[in-house]
Structure 1
């Protein structure tokens, strides 16, 4: 029952006062009640009704600071330590008692700013990609407000500590992003720590998501230590809420628990990484030569450049052969002539009906296969070549982005068609419903590519290799599934992942570095080494610890072409003294950065790894639990389950 103020007894009427009206006369309107006539409960109710969300420009500042700091944590600045505090400003918006007006709009703009700066390399691919850049940046930027909204539900409705709720929600959203709209598993928070090798080894238990969880845990720990006075100075609480503001100050014990839990988690992960690295016993595997041409995609599609591209890659193959490479890998689609693959059971009428612009002679031309078979024979080495395959069979014609495997003495020994296509880069989603979308892709004629059906294993002598094309090495669930699906009858996993990539779209930008960083996590997750042949770079050998290894030989073809001529022509395969300006390492010794945009050959033995991975066996159990928690917060928010803490009152409003 509400407690009411006592009403005073009525006083007798003064002399000469007007008597009360007689019975049956008109009754005057009831006088307005004074505050003394209102119950305490009603006063509180009115005060609450007057409360409005505080208006503050601080969320705009905090979201911008986090956006810039997070961008600086990734390439090109690559200042990884900053990632441990980059999201503290955003987490203050999770802790604050009451959301401010337009706070989520500020977070969305901050997220879009981060994504625009981070993904700026997309615009370099093709003028049509400006729209895709803006659209993808908008989509990725939405994760900022969604994260804060779901984390606030966990903290303020269910009272889950920020140290727990923030990492769970963040990783759950990263996992969702790996699948939504075919997935975009780039720029995970854990990728910022690629230099801290021991920290990364937990990925063979829980994937790269475990590293993201730990880094967000560090951010949440710092955010928990921010005192209430800072919220007042930042105007994140109303002026007259001293009692509510005081709740933002945690007792010393809570601070000690947060710091202790974070430090212990970090120490445990580092200890695990040290133990796992000590168990590695890398054995030399096949000697592989990686061919790296330097042809921007604008040149790649010019017909007058086809001969030059072919001759350069043949010369680079010759260099690898002279260095006893037994397997030579070309980048994605750098065999520039169409490679027809025709079902031999088709009749001539069926062949002609496959495509109106492709003649019978095109389908029966074997020159492409003969050229690659002859090159394999001449080099006495197996070849993995990236090519566009035109396949014709009973179901019709399809175009694939493929890896062709040639063995000397055998010819074509295998073919892998890319499974994971890039939206608006290799195919147009919903093109049948919205034909205008075809103008938003650089794919020729907007036709796009077909997706392959399954993973292939290339058997080279005693070694089993699984090819990956382009961005497939950035998709954790795809690489894990490929490794798990290709175990032999004895349960032995593959020996090496072979990635063929064309990063010539991006003109030496930070995309090349980030692509390499993201790919290195796949090696830790699966404990399988990877070799990468990349047009314009960065080609690399990566071991099962995710370490990018310096090759046995790094041959700078561009410098070799500047050497003195022999009988009127340069011979890059002739052993001569190395020119003074030739690069002999993957990295610039002055800056430590990788060389890009050059013709080169890398030759080395693959470091075979005998360790196994629980991540391959169990999959994304950890990230799945985080996603389940995140989805639970969404349900709580939509259903109104749980009660938020006492609303902030501003009785002076």
Structure 2
């Protein structure tokens, strides 16, 4: 078994490095996670081996970093565990095609440039740039990049995203793999040690300067006391309420009861507003639904306590005649304060079925999967009491 895996240990190692350096893990290997794979590619002349190496790396880090897709398919697409497991394996093969694509493009270029006898360093540099560009412009169901890990670990370098964005941080992270690859190749030479030291120095410098960027942020000119409520609701109960099959009244009762309990617990503090989570209100909300029983109960509750509320709720896109996953502000009299926000980045297999717009028959196999309309994105600010 080991003898069969041995030729592929470098791609596997890259997959482990990438998978264990993304949230919730610390980005311990982000600066050199592609080094084993790039070493492997640089030793190949076979297109087949380059592609297989890329697929192995992508498959391994997807299994590690996105194993929750199995639960998502089981819990939200309502597939049996065995089928969800197969779905995870398929997703692992196709989720991050930017890795084998980068290897393919690099090898095609490498084979084509032989007649020009360009340097190996230039070849490695282009390998890094092709990987960065493929990662930046590739399609993926769950958008992520290598910049988010620095934020997830609260390392000060993430403050540079203020200027270059997290996509820019992701590109810098991947590009840092290049000098460390060269440093590994020259590890027995002084130049290799110096190159690794320069990368380390640059990383420390970016973090120190990140602390400076954090310090220059202006202090907030206002603050709120927010009462956050999170009731314990089973997904089966949420689905039943969404489909109109019960539990709606019970879910609303839990939120109202827990809000009252929290108000009594913190009655010595001024509460500016209450915050309920995504789709906490288990019915349709909006001006056209204000006379529905659930909306009336909520408005009465807020009016009696003179309590503003920000809550997730379902609403309707009248043009598409589809449900939306929205966020509403209600004032202390229980009135909806326009505008409301509707979620635009939906959860695959939870709020939509990928490719359904091209192959509508897919829904016949996943009838209970949500079918939500996308919002217009962050184009308007929620308003409350003079704040936005």
Query: TM class, shorter-chain normalised?
Result: 0.7 to 0.9
Distance change (3 Å), C-alpha of 1:430 and 1:67: closer
In structure 2, runs of 5+ residues without a counterpart are: none
Q: Which residue of 2 aligns with 1:71?
A: 19
Superposed CA offset, 1:89-143 (max 9, x none): 1121233263475332232133123212322212223433637644443222422
Residue 176 of structure 1: how far off its partner (Å): 1.3
Residue 318 of structure 1: how far off its partner (Å): 2.4
Match of 1:140 among 72, 79, 95: 95
SS of alignment partner, residue 416 of structure 1: strand
Q: Which residue of 1 aligns with 2:45?
A: 98
Residues 307 and 333 of structure 2 are in contact (CA less than 8 Å); yes or no, is this contact kept in structure 1? Answer: no
Residue 153 of structure 1: how far off its partner (Å): 6.0
Distance change (3 Å), C-alpha of 1:391 and 1:372: farther
Q: Which residue of 2 aligns with 1:413?
A: 337
- Establish whether residue 329 from structure 1 lines up as the match of residue 275 from structure 2: yes
Residue 278 of structure 1: how far off its partner (Å): 1.6
The 2-side partners of 1:256 and 1:155 are apart by 28
The 1-side partners of 2:370 and 2:187 are apart by 59
Match of 2:34 among 87, 103, 108: 87
Distance change (3 Å), C-alpha of 1:121 and 1:256: closer
The total of aligned residue pairs comes to 359
Match of 1:387 among 296, 313, 334: 313
Distance change (3 Å), C-alpha of 1:116 and 1:318: same
Distance change (3 Å), C-alpha of 1:267 and 1:124: closer
Residues 229 and 255 of structure 2 are in contact (CA less than 8 Å); yes or no, is this contact kept in structure 1? Answer: yes
Q: Which residue of 2 aligns with 1:372?
A: 298
Q: Which residue of 2 aligns with 1:318?
A: 260
The 2-side partners of 1:266 and 1:166 are apart by 22
Distance change (3 Å), C-alpha of 1:290 and 1:147: farther
Residue 402 of structure 1: how far off its partner (Å): 1.4
Q: Which residue of 2 aligns with 1:296?
A: 234
Residue 440 of structure 1: how far off its partner (Å): 5.3
The 1-side partners of 2:28 and 2:310 are apart by 39
Residues 288 and 325 of structure 1 are in contact (CA less than 8 Å); yes or no, is this contact kept in structure 2? Answer: yes
Distance change (3 Å), C-alpha of 1:150 and 1:58: farther
- Establish whether residue 122 from structure 1 lines up as the match of residue 69 from structure 2: yes
- Establish whether residue 271 from structure 1 lines up as the match of residue 208 from structure 2: yes
Residue 413 of structure 1: how far off its partner (Å): 0.8
- Establish whether residue 456 from structure 1 lines up as the match of residue 380 from structure 2: yes
Match of 1:225 among 166, 173, 183: 183
Residues 404 and 416 of structure 1 are in contact (CA less than 8 Å); yes or no, is this contact kept in structure 2? Answer: yes
Residues 163 and 258 of structure 1 are in contact (CA less than 8 Å); yes or no, is this contact kept in structure 2? Answer: no
Superposed CA offset, 1:264-283 (max 9, x none): 53244223202111213433
Q: Which residue of 2 aligns with 1:203?
A: 161
Q: Which has the higher helix share?
A: 2
Distance change (3 Å), C-alpha of 1:279 and 1:154: farther
Distance change (3 Å), C-alpha of 1:261 and 1:164: farther
RMSD: 3.4
Distance change (3 Å), C-alpha of 1:220 and 1:391: closer
Distance change (3 Å), C-alpha of 1:433 and 1:117: same
Residues 352 and 371 of structure 2 are in contact (CA less than 8 Å); yes or no, is this contact kept in structure 1? Answer: yes
SS of alignment partner, residue 20 of structure 2: helix
Match of 1:173 among 134, 141, 147: 134
Residue 411 of structure 1: how far off its partner (Å): 0.6
Over alpha carbons, which structure has the higher Rg? 1
Residue 412 of structure 1: how far off its partner (Å): 0.9
In structure 1, runs of 5+ residues without a counterpart are: 1-55, 228-248, 343-362, 465-653
Residues 427 and 441 of structure 1 are in contact (CA less than 8 Å); yes or no, is this contact kept in structure 2? Answer: no
SS of alignment partner, residue 19 of structure 2: helix
Residue 327 of structure 1: how far off its partner (Å): 1.8
Residue 252 of structure 1: how far off its partner (Å): 5.3
The aligned runs of 1:451-600 (5 Å cut-off) are: 451-453=374-376, 455-464=379-388
The 2-side partners of 1:154 and 1:459 are apart by 53
Residue 406 of structure 1: how far off its partner (Å): 0.5
Residues 382 and 408 of structure 1 are in contact (CA less than 8 Å); yes or no, is this contact kept in structure 2? Answer: yes
Superposed CA offset, 1:208-264 (max 9, x none): 23332343344333321334xxxxxxxxxxxxxxxxxxxxx6995863674365245
- Establish whether residue 400 from structure 1 lines up as the match of residue 324 from structure 2: yes
SS of alignment partner, residue 228 of structure 2: strand
Distance change (3 Å), C-alpha of 1:401 and 1:215: same
Match of 1:212 among 170, 177, 193: 170
Residue 400 of structure 1: how far off its partner (Å): 1.6
Distance change (3 Å), C-alpha of 1:417 and 1:210: closer
TM-score by length of 2: 0.78
Q: Which residue of 2 aligns with 1:287?
A: 225
The 1-side partners of 2:314 and 2:33 are apart by 43
Q: Which has the higher strand share?
A: 1
Q: Which residue of 2 aligns with 1:309?
A: 251
Superposed CA offset, 1:449-469 (max 9, x none): 1222353322222321xxxxx
Distance change (3 Å), C-alpha of 1:132 and 1:450: farther
The 2-side partners of 1:111 and 1:387 are apart by 37
Q: Which residue of 2 aligns with 1:185?
A: 143
Superposed CA offset, 1:577-618 (max 9, x none): xxxxxxxxxxxxxxxxxxxxxxxxxxxxxxxxxxxxxxxxxx
The 2-side partners of 1:250 and 1:313 are apart by 60
